[in-house]
C-alpha cells in the first residue's frame, strides 16, 4: 500500500461517501434514502449487526466454492444484483456497466423496469444472465410489451415487484423535487418526465402510472402473457409466502425494498427469519 492506494475505497460505506461527494444532492438522496422517518432503513443495517458468525476451526479452506444456482442458472455466489432504477443518474454508461460487472463476477443481474438503458442495450452488452423486474402499470399493454421485449431478448425470469402500489413517501425526494428523466424503454409510449412544481415528480409519475389495484388475481394474467418463470418480489410475511406458493409462482424474494416503501416494517433479514421458519 502507498500513494493513491490509501484513497481507494475498501468497503461499501466508503463508496457511499465518494458517491455523496460526486453526485448532485438530488440524485444521491434518491439512491441512499428511505421512506418517511427512515426507521426501517436504519433497522435494515442494525438487524444484521445483531447476527453474528459462529466460525468452526481447523477446516480446510484452501479451496472455497460459494457457487450455487438460481432457477437453474449458475451463479458464483448466492448473490444477485437487485433491480435498481436509473443507473445513468450515477454513471453515463448506466445499467450496461452494471451488467458488465455482473458478467465479470458471474452473478445474475435483475434489470429494473425503470432502467435508463434499454432492455435491448443491456441484453446485448455482455453475456451475463439477466432477469427482468416488472412493475404493472395501469396501462397493462405497456407492462405486457416490456415482458415480451425481455422474453425476446433472452431474459430468463420475471421479478414482479408487489410492494409499490404507491411509491413510498420519500421525504428527501419531496424536498428536492426529484425529477425522473425520460426513460428510453418507454419512448413513444408514456412520458416518465413529469413537470410538477409540487414535491417529488417520481411520486407524481408513479401515482399516475402504477396500478394500485394490483392483487393476487393478476398473477394469473401475468402467467397468461409469459412462459418465463415468475418471482414475486416484496414479500415480508409467512402468510404471503404461502399464498405465493399456492398461486404457483416459481419463487419469492423476501424484501422491504431497501426501506423505500412502507416505513416501520421489519428489517428484511428479520422477515426472512419469519418466512423461513
Ligand X SMILES: CCCCCCC(=O)C(=O)O
Residues annotated as part of the active site: 257
For 180, 233, 259, the CA distances from 240, given in Å and listed in that order, are 32, 11, 18
Q: Which is nearer to ligand X, 87 or 257 (CB)?
A: 257
- Answer yes or no whether residue 260 interacts with ligand X by CB under 6 A: yes
- Answer yes or no whether residue 94 interacts with ligand FMN by CB under 6 A: no
Residues linked to residue 132 through DSSP beta bridges, in sequence order = 111, 158
Question: What's the rounded Cα separation, in Å, for the pair 8 and 11?
Answer: 9
Question: What's the rounded Cα separation, in Å, for the pair 217 and 204?
Answer: 26
Q: How many residues does the chain have?
A: 277
Q: Which is nearer to ligand X, 158 or 180 (CB)?
A: 180
Which of 35, 38, 40, 133 contacts ligand FMN by CB under 6 A? Answer: 133
Contact 138, 119 (CB under 8 A): no
Binding segment for ligand X (CB under 6 A), chosen from 202-210, 220-228, 239-247, 262-270, is: 202-210
Measured between its terminal Cα atoms, the distance across the chain in Å is: 46
* Consecutive H or E run containing 227: none
- Answer yes or no whether residue 31 interacts with ligand FMN by CB under 6 A: yes
Binding segment for ligand X (CB under 6 A), chosen from 144-152, 200-208, 214-222, 242-250, is: 200-208
Which of 47, 70, 85, 96 contacts ligand FMN by CB under 6 A? Answer: 85
Binding site for ligand FMN (CB under 6 A): 31, 82-85, 112-114, 133, 161, 233, 255, 257-258, 260, 268
Amino acid at each position: 500500500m502507498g500513494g493513491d492506494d490509501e484513497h481507494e475505497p475498501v468497503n461499501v460505506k466508503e463508496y457511499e461517501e465518494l458517491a455523496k461527494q460526486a453526485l448532485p444532492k438530488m440524485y444521491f438522496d434518491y439512491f441512499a434514502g428511505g421512506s418517511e422517518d427512515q426507521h426501517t432503513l436504519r433497522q435494515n443495517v442494525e438487524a444484521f449487526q445483531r447476527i453474528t458468525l459462529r466460525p468452526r476451526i481447523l477446516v480446510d479452506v484452501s479451496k472455497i466454492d460459494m457457487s450455487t444456482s438460481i432457477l437453474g442458472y449458475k451463479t458464483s455466489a448466492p448473490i444477485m444484483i437487485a433491480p435498481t432504477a436509473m443507473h445513468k443518474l450515477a454513471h453515463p454508461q448506466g445499467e450496461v456497466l452494471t451488467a458488465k460487472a455482473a458478467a465479470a463476477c458471474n452473478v445474475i443481474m435483475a434489470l429494473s423496469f425503470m432502467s435508463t438503458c434499454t432492455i435491448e442495450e443491456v441484453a446485448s452488452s455482455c453475456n451475463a444472465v439477466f432477469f427482468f423486474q416488472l412493475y404493472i402499470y395501469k396501462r397493462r399493454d405497456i407492462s405486457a410489451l416490456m415482458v415480451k421485449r425481455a422474453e425476446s431478448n433472452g431474459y430468463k425470469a420475471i421479478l414482479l415487484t408487489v410492494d409499490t402500489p404507491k411509491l413510498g413517501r420519500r421525504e428527501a425526494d419531496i424536498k428536492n423535487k426529484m425529477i425522473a428523466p425520460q426513460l428510453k424503454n418507454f419512448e413513444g409510449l408514456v412520458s416518465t418526465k413529469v413537470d410538477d412544481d409540487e414535491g417529488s415528480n417520481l411520486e407524481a409519475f408513479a401515482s399516475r402510472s402504477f396500478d394500485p389495484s394490483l392483487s393476487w388475481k393478476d398473477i394469473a394474467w401475468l402467467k397468461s402473457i409469459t412462459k418465463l418463470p415468475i418471482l414475486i418480489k416484496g414479500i415480508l410475511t409467512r402468510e404471503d409466502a404461502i399464498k405465493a406458493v399456492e398461486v404457483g409462482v416459481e419463487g419469492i424474494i423476501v424484501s422491504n425494498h431497501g426501506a423505500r416503501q412502507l416505513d416501520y416494517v421489519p428489517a428484511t433479514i428479520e422477515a426472512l427469519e419469519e418466512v423461513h421458519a
